[in-house]
Amino acid sequence: MKKLILSCLILLAFNFLSFSSWAHINDSKTNRSTQEVSFKVKVKGEKAIQGASVSVYNGTTILAAGKTNSQGIASIIIKNFNGEPIIIKIRAAGYKYFVKENVSVSQGETIEINLTSIGIGTKITEDAKTDIEKKKEAFEEDKNEALKKTESIKKEAESITNKTEDLHQKVENQETEIKDLNDKTAESLQKAEEIKKNAASHVEEADKKSGADQKTREAEARERESQAKNREDALTEAMEAQQEEEAKKLEKKAEKADKKVDKKEDKLEDKAEKEAKEMKKEASKEIKKEEKELKEEEEEAKKEKKEAQEKEKEEEQKLKELEKAEKEAVKQEKEAEAIVKEAEKLEDKTESYEDKMAALDNDQKKIDEKRGKLKDDQKELDKRIKKGKKLDKAKEDQAKIDEKNSKLDDDQEKLDDKRSKLKKKFKKYL
């Protein structure tokens, strides 16, 4: 009987100890379980940024997403927070894509983030201002020349009027000789003009080709940069075979916010382009108005000169003035011959410029061919990632492609530098 009682006591003690151990283990699990935590992310640039897309990740898994209000604050709630550091990603129209890792958060905390502006529309506006300034500078030069020409015409008219009484007869032979000289001068100037036009057309063609290729390369570089982020997301999605339903909803929410950011950036750029167009239109209008006024003033001066010349014809003494005109014609002939020689030098320089530009274009072709092959490699890798094949090598392969693209970017930069130096060297001739 005593043995039976002792056995029962031992059994009860064992059961009690087992229950206590289970309760302790269960309590430990409860202490390690996840909990809901809420905090705020305040986003600003020069001022608070409204509409910024804020996403919170644990590795590649999205935990929460939100959008900033008019004060630049996004309220974030993580339902299953295990206390580990998180990753915060932020996108906002007109600002650089922001990623911050190893962020520790606590209940009720406010995290402040400063974004850097990428100046959407700024470059368009600045380019428009630069273009307008160049046009105004060129117009000012033309304006000064026109004013000098008008003043010269007025002085000629005044001089003709003042010297009318001193002119003599015997004009026919002198006029014939002057006409011959002027014809010869005109032929020389025409020849020089044709040489210059021919050289200018060659240079323009080379520059147009170079400029068009440059724009294409810049567009491709922007496209590669844009696709790099998309590939990172695609690779992450491919490597995650399954995700919880809540993560999918958050991804959609973040994607929707990103699209709104993209749309807002497009609107900013369209607005900048519209403003630039209006600026150019207004500047062009002002220049045309001044050109019209200058033209009218020049016509008036020409009219005065014509009247003075008609008075001059009425006078008997024209010989002296025609002798001066003859000397001037001889001088102009010599100047025209000098212009022809200078134009011929220009033609030689143009040929040298074209040869050097052709060599650079050949180097550009090689870079473009390598870039084309990398595009094909990238397409194949993207297809492989999309199909989920060989994902363990995807990052390594992507790194190789990026390294080659970076090398080509360096080569492109060196080539562009050579082209810029070549244009600068030949600028004084062309």
Pairing of strands 53-58, 61-67: antiparallel
pLDDT of residue 28: 38
Query: Is the overall model pTM greater than 0.75, yes or no?
Result: no
Q: Percent of the chain at pLDDT above 70?
A: 83
Q: Does residue 243 carry a pLDDT above 70?
A: no
d(CA 124, CA 270): 10
- The DSSP code sequence of 58-73 is ETTEEEEEEE--TTSE
Q: What is the DSSP letter of 166?
A: G
Residue bearing the bigger pLDDT, 110 or 195: 110
pLDDT of residue 200: 65
- Burial label for 288, CB within 10 Å (0-12, 13-18, 19+), is exposed
What separation, in Å, do the N-terminal and C-terminal C-alpha atoms of the chain show? 122
Residues 293-349: tens digit of each pLDDT? 888 988 988 888 888 888 888 888 887 887 888 888 888 888 888 887 777 777 777
Structural tokens at position 285 = 């209008």
The residues, ordered by sequence, that sit 6+ positions from 368 with a Cβ below 8 Å of its Cβ are 213, 217
Q: Does residue 273 carry a pLDDT above 70?
A: yes
d(CA 70, CA 46): 14
CB hemisphere CA count around 51 (13 angstroms): 13
**Structural domain spans, the chain:** 33-114, 122-426
Q: What is the DSSP letter of 33?
A: S
pLDDT of residue 241: 58
pLDDT (mean) for 352-376: 92
pLDDT of residue 64: 92
Residues 82-95: tens digit of each pLDDT? 889 999 999 998 89
Residues 212-234: tens digit of each pLDDT? 667 777 777 787 777 767 766 66
| Poorest-pLDDT segment among 59-73, 175-189, 239-253, 410-424 | 239-253
pLDDT of residue 354: 87
pLDDT of residue 24: 37
* CATH of 33-114 given 2.60.40.10, 2.40.110.10, 1.10.3720.10, 3.40.50.2300: 2.60.40.10
| Poorest-pLDDT segment among 12-26, 63-77, 154-168 | 12-26
d(CA 257, CA 379): 27
